[in-house]
Structure 1
Amino acid sequence: MVRTKNQLEIYSRELKNIKEHSKAAFVASILKSKREMCPFAIEDPNLANLSYRDFLQYCKGLKSGVLGGSCKYYDRTYADGGWRPSNLAQNIIDRIRRFGPVMPEEVYSLCRSSGLCPYEVTRILAKRANVIIGNYNYVLVETVRNSSLGRAGIHMRDVNCVFDEAHSLPYYASGILSSELSLRSIRRAIREVKRFRLDGLDILRALHSVTISLGKTTYKMYGSDYEHIIPKELLLKEVSTKAGIDVKELPNAIDDFAVLGETVRRMRIKVGSRPVSYLARCASFLSDWVNMDGSGHVRYIRVEENARGRKTIRIGIKCIDPSLATRVINEMRSTILMSGTLWNMDYYIDVLSLNRSRCRSMEIPNPFPPKNRLILVDTAVTTRFEER
C-alpha cells in the first residue's frame, strides 16, 4: 500500500523489472483511483477538475441510471447487469494475466479501446492477482475495502501487506475519518437551492448565519488558524432554532438534502454543466456531524486568513483516534510498516492500536556514507500553501 500516485508508479515499474529479469510468473493488479482510470473523466472537460467526492457520486449515479443514462464502459464489463465479467472483459483479463505486470496506462489503453471500464477490469483482476498495489484507502477505508478487496473474495486473514512511508499512517488515517465544510460551500448551496427552486433554504440560511456567528466569536477570542472546539449539540440547536424547526427534525431534513443534492447534479448535467452539488456536500457533512459519535472525534470551527487578509470560516469534524481506521491491520496475516523516518515503535503500536504481541521491529543501517551527503538550503522558497 502506498500513499501517493508517484509511489504507486515506482512499485509498478519495479514489478515489471522483476518480471523481465527473473522470468517469474505472477499476476499483479495495480489499483489507481476510479477517476484516474475513468475514460469519461479523462475525456470530458466537465469532469476533469471535479472533486473526488463529486466524481464518486457521479460514477455511482451513472452506473445506477439515476442521472438519466448509463455507463457504457461499466455495462460492457459485466454480463447481464450482474457481477460476472462479460466474455469480452474475461478475454482482456486473460491477456493481461499472460502479459504479466502491466502499467495502469497500458491497462487503460487496452480497456478503453475495447469499450471496457479500466477500473472494474483491474478490480476483477485483483481476484487472481499475487500482488496488489494501491493507496492506503484500499485497506483503511471500510467501504472501499469491501467494494474492492471484499468483492474480489480477498480476506484480510490471507493478506500479507506492506505499507510504504508508514510514518504518515497516523495522520493519514485520521484524515480519512475527518470532514470539513467551508462557508463558501454553504453559500454556493444556498445559490443552488435558489437557482433550482428547491426546498431547504431556511435551514441553509440558518447554517450560514450560525457559522458566521461562531466564526466571529472564535476570531475575536483566538485569532486566525485556531481550531476552537465546539459541542456537537451547539451547532444543531442553533441551526434548528434559527430555521424554526425542532432539533429532532434535522436528521430527516439532512436526508432530504442528500436526495435534493442528487437532483441538482442531474439538472446540471442536463444543461451541460459540471455534475457538482454543494447541497449534497452540505448534506454529507451535516450527516457526519450528526452521526459521528464517541470520543474519537472532536468538532471545531476555524477562521482562516490568507496573505491578503481575506478571511474564511470552516466548521469541521476531526478524528483524533487513527486506530478507528487502522485496527484492520490486526486482522491481516502479516503486515510490514516501513519508512526511513519511523521514530518509535511503541508510539505506532499505541496510536494505531496494533496487537503488541505480534509486533517486531528491525532497524537497517543507512547504506550511504555520510561523506556523500550534500545538503543545500534555499531560503528564497517556502512550502507555505498561500505563497506557492
Structure 2
Amino acid sequence: MYLDYFPYESLRPYQDSMLDDVYGAVRAGDHGVLMIDAPTGSGKTSCIAAALAAAPGKIAVAVRTVSQIDVYLDEMEKIWSRTRHRPTITYMVGKQKVCPIADEFSGESVYSGCARLREWTKRKMIARLGEVGGKFYDPSQERNAPQSVPGYRTFCPYYMMTREVFELSGKPHFRHSGRVLDLVDELRGGIRSPDRFQKECRDVCPYEVMSLSAKGSDVVILNYSHLFSPEFQEIIFDWLELERESLTLFVDEAHNLGDAVRALNTRLLTPRMIDLAEKEVDKYRESMGQSRLPESSLEASSRLRGVEVIKTLLPRLRQYIQSRQSRMQEGEELLDGDLFRSFLYQGFDDVEEALSAATEVAVMVAELELAEGDRENLQGEIEPSLAQVLLFLNDVEMAEKDDSYQRKITVTGIGDKKRAWLEVNNVDPASLIRRVTDNINATVMLSGTLSPLDAYELYILGEAGRAKKISLPNPFPRENRLLMVAKTATTQLEKREEAGNRREITEHIEAMIEEVGGNVAVFFTSYSMMSQYEAVCKAAARRMGKMLYLEPRNSEEVPAILDDFFKAGKRRGAVLLGVSGGKLAEGIDYKGEALNGVAVVGLPLGFYNEIQREVNQYYIRKYGQKNGILIAYTLPAINRGLQAAGRVIRDASERGVILFCDRRFREGGRGGVFTFLPRWIQDELVVTDARKSREIIRMRAAEWEGRRS
C-alpha cells in the first residue's frame, strides 16, 4: 500500500492508523471527507504519501500561507530521495511574490501594471513580426532581442519570452514559446524552493512557468483563495486542468479554513473603487457612438439608461461613505440596510431593473478593455472596478433575502489618515466549501487544533455526519510535559478587576517566569491586558536576569524580536509577551530551547459587539443555542488558546510547561470549555492555585534535571 511511498524507516506512534484512514478515504472516493485532529509531531505531512498511493488523479494541497509550501516541498523531496517514486509537484503563489519587476510598479498594483505591460508586449511582438517580414516571430531566437529600460518599460521582457506570434489568415495569433515549454519540462525534473525556482526561471516570467507546470503535475500546492474564492471557484479547475472526479484535496491547517473562506467571501466598497469606476464610465461614454462594437438602437438605449443609473449611484455611494467617515469613531458598525438603500435608490422605481441596466455597462467596459482596477482574474485580465461596485450592491440586495449575509461599515485611523469603507460578507462558509468537497474524489482536512471535531464539521461543512473524524493522542512522551490550569483565576469581565483575582493571575505569571528555566512566553487576550501586566512580567524577568520582549504592532519588526528572543534562550533566557491569536502565537516554530514554557492568560474570546451578536444569532437559528454559541463565539477562542499553548514542545525530545491561566479551561458547564479540549489535554490537566503552581513547576523541573544528569 502506501509504505512504498513512505520516506521514513519507521512510523511514529498512532501514525499508522492515521495513514490507513487517509489511504482508505482517498481510495474509496465518493466525495468523502476525512477530518484529522492530530497534535504536533503526529506526522500529518506524511499523509501525502498515503494519498499518492491511492489517488486516482491529481492531488491539490490548499495552504493559507506561503511558508507552508516549504513543509510539503521538503516531504516530497524525501519521497524522491528515499523511495523509487518521483511524483511531480508545482505550487502557485501570488504574482506580486514572483514578478521580477514588481518593485517597478509605482502608483498601481502589480496586477494592473502586469496587465498593461502584457498588452504592450503583444503589440511590440506584432510590430516586430512585421519588421522581420515573416509569418512567425519567436523573441527567444532573436540574437539582438528588444531591450526594455527598468522603470520606463514599454513591454515586459520576461513575459515576451513565454510567447511566440504567428500570422494566420492575415491575423496575428499567440501561443506559448518553445523556450517556456522546455523550461517547464526542465523544472519538473526536481523539487525547488520558491526562491530557487524564481532564479532558475532566469529571463522567463516565473508566474507563466508556474501556471503551465501546474497543468501537468501530480501535486499542486495552492492558496486557499484559488479554490475557495467565489471568483476563482468557477474557473480554477479548467484553468489548471484539474478533473473534479479524480481530484483529491488536502486542506492544511484546516482550523483556519472557515474563517479564511468567510474573508474570501467578503466584498468591500472603497472610495478608490468608486473613483476608478467613474473613470471607466467616462471612458465608455467617450467610446459610445464610435462603433467599436455593433449594437441596435434598443441596445444603445438600454446602455444609456445604465450610464444614467451609474452616474447617479456612484456620487451617492461616495457621499454616504464620506458622511459616515466624518461622524464615526474608529471601529466597525452594522450597516442599516433600510437607511442605506432608501438613500441610494431614492427616485428608482425598480432597483433590480436599475442594477441590471448598470451591469450591461460593466460588461461593455470589460469587452472594450476599458477597465481601471487593482484586481486580476485567473486569465490575467484586470477586473473592472465598476463590476466590483455592482457585485457589492448585488450582495447588499442578497442580504435582504439571506440572513447569512452581513453588512457593515468600517473606519480606521484618525484625522487626515481617517479612512472608511463599506463591507458585505457571508458569515457562513459551508456552502462555498461544499461546492468543492461535494464535487471531487475526496478531501482530507488536517490540523493540530481541530477540536472539537463535531463543531468544526458543522462550521466548515454545515452538516453533522458529513465527514469521518479522527482525533489522535499526543505522540510525545507524557513525562516530558506539564499541563496546568488555574483553579480560580479568570479574565471574565465581572471578575477581572477583583483584587484577589488579579493577585492570582499575577502569582501564576510570576511562577512561570521564575520557575521555568530559559525562555517563557505569556500570551494575553488583548494588547490592553498585556500592557496591564507588563510591569509584573518585567519585574519577574529582572529578578531572574531574563530579558523582556513585547509583541510589536508592526509585523515587520517580528523577525528581529524573535531572533533576539531565540539568542537569549541560549543564555539565561527571556520572557516574550504576546496576544493569543496574534503574530507570535501562531505559525511560528519555537524549536529546541527556543521556548520552555507558555502561559495562556484568559480565554481569548473575541470582542463582543453588535456585529458579533448578529453572527451569534445566525448560528443559534441554524444549530440551536448550545452549538450556535459554540461555533460562532467560543470555537475561535478555544483555537487561539490551543494554538498559543502549542508553541511549546515541538519535538519528542523537548520538555515544557503549559499553563492555562483561566478557570474556564477546567470547567465544563456554562462558559466552560473543558469538554471541548482534546482528550489528551483533558487527561493531563493539573488543577492548581497560584501558590501551588510554583511548587509543582519546581518539582517537575527538578525531576527533569535529575533525568538529564
* Aligned residue number for residue 92 of structure 1: 183
Change (3 A) 1:145 1:124: farther
CA contact (8 A) 2:161 2:180 kept: no
Report which of the two has the higher share of helix. 1
* Aligned residue number for residue 437 of structure 2: 329
* Aligned residue number for residue 212 of structure 1: 322
* Aligned residue number for residue 301 of structure 1: 408
* Aligned residue number for residue 476 of structure 2: 367
* Aligned residue number for residue 230 of structure 1: 336
Residue of structure 1 aligned with 2:226, choices 115, 130, 138:
138
Q: 1:225-304 counterparts in 2 under 5 A? A: 225-231=331-337, 235-241=340-346, 247=351, 248-253=353-358, 255-256=360-361, 263=370, 265=372, 280-281=384-385, 283-290=387-394, 293=398, 295=402, 297-304=404-411
Specify the code of the residue in structure 2 equivalent to 1:50: S
Change (3 A) 1:236 1:258: farther
Structure possessing the higher relative contact order (Cα contacts under 8 Å, 6 or more residues apart): 1
CA RMSD of aligned residues (A): 4.5
Specify the code of the residue in structure 1 equivalent to 2:80: K
Moved more, 364-373 or 338-347: 364-373
Secondary structure of the residue that 1:376 maps to in structure 2? Answer: strand
* Aligned residue number for residue 170 of structure 1: 258
* Aligned residue number for residue 208 of structure 2: 120
CA contact (8 A) 2:249 2:443 kept: yes
Moved more, 17-26 or 73-82: 73-82
Specify the code of the residue in structure 2 equivalent to 1:284: Q
Distance 2:423 2:393 in 1: 8
* Aligned residue number for residue 105 of structure 2: 45
Residue of structure 2 aligned with 1:318, choices 413, 417, 425:
425
- Quick check: 1:20 aligned with 2:81? yes
Distance 2:386 2:481 in 1: 52
Secondary structure of the residue that 2:322 maps to in structure 1? Answer: helix
CA contact (8 A) 1:77 1:121 kept: no
CA contact (8 A) 2:183 2:201 kept: yes
Deviation at 1:101, TM superposition (A): 1.9
Distance 1:78 1:353 in 2: 49
The TM-score normalised by the length of structure 1 is 0.73
CA contact (8 A) 2:96 2:110 kept: no
Residue of structure 2 aligned with 1:6, choices 67, 75, 90:
67
Change (3 A) 1:79 1:43: farther
Secondary structure of the residue that 1:102 maps to in structure 2? Answer: coil
Structure 2, unaligned stretches of length 5 or more? 1-61, 124-153, 287-306, 374-381, 483-515, 523-529, 535-548, 558-709
Secondary structure of the residue that 1:153 maps to in structure 2? Answer: coil
Distance 1:386 1:310 in 2: 20
Report which of the two has the higher share of strand. 2
Distance 2:94 2:167 in 1: 23
Specify the code of the residue in structure 1 equivalent to 2:390: L
Change (3 A) 1:43 1:370: same
Secondary structure of the residue that 2:423 maps to in structure 1? Answer: strand
Deviation at 1:351, TM superposition (A): 1.7
Change (3 A) 1:196 1:331: closer
Change (3 A) 1:82 1:234: farther
Secondary structure of the residue that 1:317 maps to in structure 2? Answer: strand
* Aligned residue number for residue 632 of structure 2: none
Deviation at 1:195, TM superposition (A): 11
Specify the code of the residue in structure 2 equivalent to 1:158: S
The TM-score normalised by the length of structure 2 is 0.43
Residue of structure 1 aligned with 2:246, choices 127, 147, 158:
158
CA contact (8 A) 2:280 2:372 kept: no
Deviation at 1:340, TM superposition (A): 2.0
- CA offset digits 1:148-191 (Å, max 9, x no partner): 44234322322222211111111100111111123465467668
Distance 1:51 1:236 in 2: 35
Distance 2:460 2:121 in 1: 36
Distance 1:112 1:296 in 2: 51
- Quick check: 1:351 aligned with 2:351? no
Residue of structure 2 aligned with 1:111, choices 201, 207, 225:
201
- Quick check: 1:376 aligned with 2:496? no
Distance 2:389 2:439 in 1: 30
Secondary structure of the residue that 2:207 maps to in structure 1? Answer: helix
- CA offset digits 1:319-367 (Å, max 9, x no partner): 1120132111233322221222222212221122266244222224152
- CA offset digits 1:31-72 (Å, max 9, x no partner): 222333334x4363338x7266x468658867997xx98952
Distance 2:356 2:432 in 1: 25
Deviation at 1:213, TM superposition (A): 4.0
Distance 2:161 2:199 in 1: 13
Distance 1:229 1:184 in 2: 20
* Aligned residue number for residue 180 of structure 1: 268
The structure having more radius of gyration, on CA atoms, is: 2
CA contact (8 A) 2:262 2:426 kept: yes
- CA offset digits 1:87-132 (Å, max 9, x no partner): 33332222223x222233444334343x4x4333323322332221
Change (3 A) 1:287 1:357: closer
Specify the code of the residue in structure 2 equivalent to 1:118: P
Distance 1:85 1:263 in 2: 26
Secondary structure of the residue that 1:337 maps to in structure 2? Answer: strand
Distance 1:346 1:59 in 2: 50
CA contact (8 A) 2:284 2:365 kept: no
Distance 1:321 1:309 in 2: 36
CA contact (8 A) 1:224 1:302 kept: no
